[in-house]
Amino acid sequence: MENILDKTERVLKLRNYSPQTRKAYMLYIKEYIKFSKKAGIKNKQKAIEEFLLDKHTRMQSPQTVNLAQSAVRFLYTEVLKNPQKIDLKFAKRNKKLPIVLSRAEIEKIIEATDNAKYKLMISLGYACGMRVSEVVQLKVSDLDIDELVVHIKGAKGKKDRISVLPEKLQDDLRNSIAGKSKGDFIFVSNRTGVLTTTSLQKMFRKSLAKAKINKSATFHSLRHSFATHLLENGTDVRYVQELLGHSNIRTTQIYTQVTNPKLKNIKSPL
Which residue numbers are catalytic? 131, 156, 220, 223, 246, 255
Gyration radius of the chain over CA positions:
22
Phi, psi (degrees; rounded to nearest 5) at 143: -100, 135
- Kindly give, in sequence order, each residue whose CB lies less than 8 Å from that of residue 86, ignoring residues fewer than 6 positions away: 44, 45, 48, 72, 73, 76, 77
How does DSSP classify residue 137? T
Distances in whole angstroms, Cα of residue 228 to Cα of each of 77, 103, 167, 236, 239: 40, 10, 20, 11, 12
First-to-last alpha carbon distance for the chain, in angstroms, is 63
Q: Exposed, middle or buried, 103 (CB in 10 Å: 0-12/13-18/19+)?
A: exposed
